[in-house]
Amino acid sequence: MSAKAISEQTAKEFLYKYICTSAAVQNRFRYARVTADTDWDRLTQDHPWLLTERLVVKPDQLIKRRGKLGLVGINLDLQGVQKWLERHLMKETTIGKAKGVLKNFLIEPFVPHTQEEEFYLCIYATREGDHVLFHHEGGVDVGDVDAKAQRHMVAVDEKLSEDQVTEKLLTHVSDEKKGALASFIVGLFSLYEDLYFTYLEINPLVATQDGVYILDMAAKIDATADYICKPKWGDVEFPPSFGREAYPEEAYIADLDAKSGASLKLTLLNPRGRIWTMVAGGGASVVYSDTICDLGGVDELANYGEYSGAPSEQQTYDYAKTILSLMTREKHPEGKVLIIGGSIANFTNVAATFKGIVRAIKNYQVPLKEHEVTIFVRRGGPNYQEGLRVMGEVGKTTGIPIHVFGTETHMTAIVGMALGHRPIPNQPPMDAHTANFLLNASNSAVTPAATRTASFSEPKTSSDSCPAKKTKAGLPAEAQASSGCSRAKATTLFRKNTKAIVWGMQTRAVQGMMDFDYVCSREEPSVAAMVYPFTGDHKQKFYWGHKEILLPVYKNMADAMKKHPEVDVLISFASLRSAFDSTVEAMQYPQIHTIAIIAEGIPEALTRKLIKMADEKGITIIGPATVGGIKPGCFKIGNTGGMLDNILASKLYRPGSVAYVSRSGGMSNELNNIISRTTDGVYEGVAIGGDRYPGSTFMDHILRYQDTPGVEMIVVLGEIGGTEEYKICQGIREGRLTKPVVCWCIGTCATMFASEVQFGHAGACANQASETAVAKNQALRDAGVYVPKSFDELGDVIKTVYDELVADGTITPAQEVPPPTVPMDYSWARELGLIRKPASFMTSICDERGQELIYAGMPITDVFKEEMGLGGVLGLLWFQRRLPRYACHFIEMCLMVTADHGPAVSGAHNTIVCARAGKDLVSSLTSGLLTIGDRFGGALDAAAKQFSKAFDSGMLPMEFVNKMKKDGKLIMGIGHRVKSINNPDMRVQILKDFVKQHFPSTQLLDYALDVEKITTSKKPNLILNVDGFIGVAFVDLLRTCGGFTRDEADEFVEIGALNGIFVLGRSMGFIGHYLDQKRLKQGLYRHPWDDISYVLPEHMSM
């Protein structure tokens, strides 16, 4: 959500820190917070004025009218405050329907004043601007300030002046106070704007000859502006409304939400309740709560929440396990139900999210059965059939009763089943598999002819209020001459030939649009180009039917607009941080008449600026916080309508007679489903977005539909919050709306809750009685709108109205023609399990695809938890085993002793020469590594093979030495240039001591040491060197550690695993030499002449 209430202490802290006014603001920062844990001695040390002044004490828990409720202690000394708190602190109190415990209190200095010195001041935001209310009589008995107060609206992008304040607001204030109050109000308004407040009320505001005192203050700020205001806000705490506890699980989900691009929300209503929900979608979550309450479950409803925006499997798992953990803490005598519901997803892979839920159910299967939990599932969207299948399977394998339903079942039908109001079907009907809609049985590559006219009412000429004047493509509006009349917003937003630019590298959404275009028999794709500032100009590959086409991608918008003058729609997938700037830029081009803003979380103040600019330029904005809209047979925005299976199932490839407008993107897809099942289909549908101030309103689109001949009836899905639905009533009364309207406002459950609940959409919050869903539904019903009794009956009402229109001849259903087919993408066919293909690569050591990196089956977090070290990781990646601790330590010792052997050896020499030639690290390291072989460093494998073969064949050490001499072969791993039997290599000695102490058996090492005795008797430097020692010791390790069969151990030797130890270890030394040469700034190496023997051929020297 956006507008969130803050505590009085936080609000005053912001005011005292940042207000800029000539008025003397008194008692700055003079407040003290008290809780049950307060140390009074420490408190009086920090605030010594508590001991000397008269005081006021009151709860700071978002409670309104505290004075009227007797919750303010006035004109007390500190002892009086403490006695007052004894009666109130940690005491349960009932305020209205909310029952809660008073935990947080604020103590401030008492301000002596007269009634004439009390004033009322309030600033709040609306779509058009910010309203400033001022009344010369403040305090607890202020009454109906809306009727009494002087008011002035400051329009969006305008400023408030002291003269305006004095003239419009201070007419009943004495002259001596006008100056200070005017300055204070202007300063407060600037603070309100700068810190992105949405509501700010001071009552009373006291003005005396000493200055201005802020006695009581209530405020809300736009939480989405955190990325702008963080330096001033700091870490803001948003307290829960009174009557609702703040639970750590809510904070955990809020933290997940903040770190995710998806939306994750959780509010606990009654942790002991038996009805729990896990609903996908902001709008759908409200509908499910409404239905539960309508069916009498309000007292047993345990939680409100939603997950949406394509969360990952891990995020869904974390969310689900939190719900399951909460619901399995206390048993309920009737058992419990979990409703896993949702509308038809537009782009979320249902199977992927269900995998996270399934994993959580498996982990909690024991407590779920102990608490007698029954689960009801209903979902639709991409790959939903597979999601439902795995959900059904987990029910069978765990023994938990899980009832699974798809799009063939009404969205909220499972609520009636769960609460015992309707029977549970034994075998619910299942819709066809996705593949049946998508796979083309025909070999024809020709685009099929149009199956139906794109629209019953395509206008032949422009519907603008004045003739369109041809503009120069790509030039901003201010660079072109005025057309002589203001541009009116178009009635028809999308046509069969509409072209769009997509801002953002959203290839999946663009491909979805092109597939929709193809199945609608458009002649050309609706996407002309993409804009992505983070790469250079290039081409992106997409499919048009079976063919591959290239779509231009531009770095800047100006080039895209100039090269594509036919474009009149911009679809912006810009992030919440960049959406404002990119939209402002797009509105400078007069060719653009529609902009869809997908991003959620744009600060309201910025959205209002966009709305004002769009209204001035005659541009229609859809969004923000929307999936977009769709016009069957013509055009769809981004991911609207879901994938092709849903497009075809809901008959969105051709127009019907019903137009709809909704706030929710997910619920718009549900409306597509409902309308397709009850009427001849959708003519056009728009999801205006869930923010408080959507770019276009319900009435903007309803009036378009009223003026569009092809639309015969209108469906509206409104919701709690705002007053836009009342304009429908006004339109009907004034005769502006004559077509039948079916409307239902979701959020009826809000009036049944004891405390305020913020629903999934930012705008879904009633600030007054008229904004409740119940009040709006009744007003619509009274005005003649067709209003069902609940969302459950919405489809029935739509069908009744449609049937009446067919009966009276208003609608003549067209003959249904099969749509053209579109080849399925390979990736999606594979996701559905319809095809198989040999993989180009196989790997068995690592998997990075999930939420966590996995080494040979072990999550990386476990690798660190168990302190496996480098040797353990090498064991996982090289040998696919968890090696014993001594084996891991031995590997690390081998890496240490082979790390370097000075600059004179060939590998180090090559690395140094390369480094001094100015080559980079990788090139220098590679130069050194290329010298490794049988003659340098690569003797580990060869030594292991020779000694193993001799030992395994039963040769005596002397026989082995004699055979190698007879064959004229060197014994690998024997001999050292410097070290000898009299000057032993300490590296070998260290390793030998460790191996003898820890290895269970050292047969091959003992054999090699016997060979060493024979060779050193002939020449003292023919010792078992470090390469040979590591080679034979590793064979003993592989054969005797218990982790490998004999064949597996021999295979690792054969494929070169042991040489890898030397390569990995010596790489550390080579890198060290490279860095050393760079650090010493050594120049190009040239070998000295006196170290070269120049030997010419004999015939030349003669």
Does the pLDDT at position 1002 exceed 70?
yes
**Distance (Å, rounded) from C-alpha 310 to C-alpha 306?**
12
pLDDT classification of 166: cutoffs 50, 70, 90: very high
DSSP 8-state symbol, 340: E
3-state SS record for 462-517: CCCCCCCCCCCCCCCHHHCCCCCCCCCCCCCCCCCCCCEEEECCCHHHHHHHHHHH
Does the pLDDT at position 914 exceed 70?
yes
Nearest to 976 by CA among 1016, 1010, 1007, 1008: 1016
pLDDT tens digits, one per residue of 226-281: 999 999 999 999 998 888 777 899 889 988 887 877 889 998 999 999 999 999 98
**Distance (Å, rounded) from C-alpha 915 to C-alpha 903?**
13
Confidence at residue 701, expressed as pLDDT on a 0 to 100 scale: 97
Q: What is the chain's Cα-based Rg?
A: 38
Nearest to 332 by CA among 292, 272, 376: 272
**Distance (Å, rounded) from C-alpha 402 to C-alpha 899?**
59
Who's near 42: CB < 8 A, 6+ residues apart? none
Token duo for residue 776: 């709006």
**Distance (Å, rounded) from C-alpha 320 to C-alpha 353?**
10
pLDDT classification of 753: cutoffs 50, 70, 90: low
Question: Which helix H or strand E contains 949, and what residues bound it?
Answer: helix 939-952
Segment 500-513 mean pLDDT:
96
Confidence at residue 443, expressed as pLDDT on a 0 to 100 scale: 38
Nearest to 662 by CA among 346, 213, 441: 346
Whether residue 761 lies in the annotated active site = yes
3-state SS record for 1004-1059: HHHHHHHHHHHHHHHCCCCCECHHHHHHHHHHHHHHHCCCCCHHHHHHHHHCCHHH
CA separation (Å) from 633 to 31, 455, 464, 513, 776? Answer: 64, 7, 23, 12, 34
Does the pLDDT at position 852 exceed 70?
yes
pLDDT tens digits, one per residue of 641-681: 988 888 988 999 999 999 999 998 889 999 999 999 999 99
Confidence at residue 838, expressed as pLDDT on a 0 to 100 scale: 82
Confidence at residue 1051, expressed as pLDDT on a 0 to 100 scale: 93
Confidence at residue 1056, expressed as pLDDT on a 0 to 100 scale: 86
Percentage of the chain exceeding pLDDT 90: 76
**Distance (Å, rounded) from C-alpha 360 to C-alpha 349?**
18
**Distance (Å, rounded) from C-alpha 829 to C-alpha 565?**
37
3-class secondary structure, 328: coil
Measured from the Cβ of residue 793, the count of other Cβ atoms closer than 10 Å reads 14
Q: What is the distance in angstroms between the CA of the first residue and the CA of the last residue of the chain?
A: 97
pLDDT classification of 784: cutoffs 50, 70, 90: very high
Alpha-carbon dihedral 545, 547, 552, 557, rounded to 10 degrees: 0
Query: Average model confidence (pLDDT) for the chain?
Result: 89
Burial class (CB in 10 A: 0-12, 13-18, 19+), 436: exposed
3-class secondary structure, 373: strand
Distance of CA 775 to the CA centre of its chain: 34
**Distance (Å, rounded) from C-alpha 1016 to C-alpha 908?**
29
Percentage of the chain exceeding pLDDT 70: 93
- Which amino acid appears at position 78 of this protein? L
Segment 167-187 mean pLDDT:
95
What's the pTM value of the predicted model, to 2 decimals?
0.81
**Distance (Å, rounded) from C-alpha 93 to C-alpha 107?**
20
**Distance (Å, rounded) from C-alpha 56 to C-alpha 53?**
10
* From 135, 761, 976, 1073, the catalytic residue: 761
Token duo for residue 163: 């003269």
pLDDT classification of 754: cutoffs 50, 70, 90: low
Token duo for residue 967: 């064959």
**Distance (Å, rounded) from C-alpha 721 to C-alpha 286?**
12
pLDDT classification of 428: cutoffs 50, 70, 90: low
What is the widest separation between alpha-carbon atoms in the chain?
126
Does the pLDDT at position 432 exceed 50?
no
Question: What b/e sequence results for 299-308 when a residue is b if at least 16 CB atoms lie within 10 Å of its CB, and e otherwise?
Answer: ebbbbbbbbb
Higher-confidence position of 67 and 585:
585
Q: Which of 175-189, 748-762, 921-935, 1063-1077 has the lowest mean pLDDT?
A: 748-762
Sign of the CA dihedral running 1064, 1069, 1073, 1078? positive
Q: Give the angle subtended at the CA of 499 by the CAs of 586 and 511, to the nearest 5°.
A: 100
Nearest to 771 by CA among 728, 724, 733, 732: 724
Confidence at residue 544, expressed as pLDDT on a 0 to 100 scale: 93
Q: Which of 118-132, 702-716, 759-773, 838-852 has the lowest mean pLDDT?
A: 759-773
Nearest to 307 by CA among 340, 355, 334, 337: 340
Segment 860-885 mean pLDDT:
93
Cβ atoms of 365 and 320 closer than 8 Å:
no
Confidence at residue 815, expressed as pLDDT on a 0 to 100 scale: 85
**Distance (Å, rounded) from C-alpha 659 to C-alpha 631?**
9
Q: Would you list the DSSP string of 845-914?
A: SEE-SSSS-EETTEEHHHHHHTT-HHHHHHHHHHHSS---HHHHHHHHHHHHHTS---SSSHHHHHHHHH
pLDDT tens digits, one per residue of 1048-1061: 999 999 998 888 99
Measured from the Cβ of residue 1030, the count of other Cβ atoms closer than 10 Å reads 31
pLDDT classification of 460: cutoffs 50, 70, 90: very low
pLDDT tens digits, one per residue of 62-74: 998 898 899 999 9
Half-sphere exposure of 977 (CA within 13 A, CB side): 5
**Distance (Å, rounded) from C-alpha 249 to C-alpha 186?**
41
H helices of 579-664, in order, are 579-586, 604-617, 644-649
In the block, tokens 């505290």 appear at: 66
Q: Which of 154-168, 416-430, 595-609, 734-748 has the lowest mean pLDDT?
A: 416-430
- Which amino acid appears at position 494 of this protein? F
In the block, tokens 């040239």 appear at: 1086
Nearest to 674 by CA among 350, 344, 421: 344
DSSP 8-state symbol, 247: -
Helices 939-952 & 1046-1054, crossing angle to 10 degrees?
Answer: 140
Alpha-carbon dihedral 778, 781, 783, 784, rounded to 10 degrees: 180
pLDDT tens digits, one per residue of 527-560: 999 999 998 899 999 999 889 999 999 999 999 9
Who's near 1000: CB < 8 A, 6+ residues apart? 1040, 1041
pLDDT tens digits, one per residue of 287-338: 999 999 999 999 999 999 999 888 888 899 999 999 999 999 999 999 999 9
**Distance (Å, rounded) from C-alpha 822 to C-alpha 962?**
75
Higher-confidence position of 900 and 457:
900
Segment 569-598 mean pLDDT:
96
3-class secondary structure, 967: coil
Cβ atoms of 580 and 602 closer than 8 Å:
yes
pLDDT classification of 442: cutoffs 50, 70, 90: very low
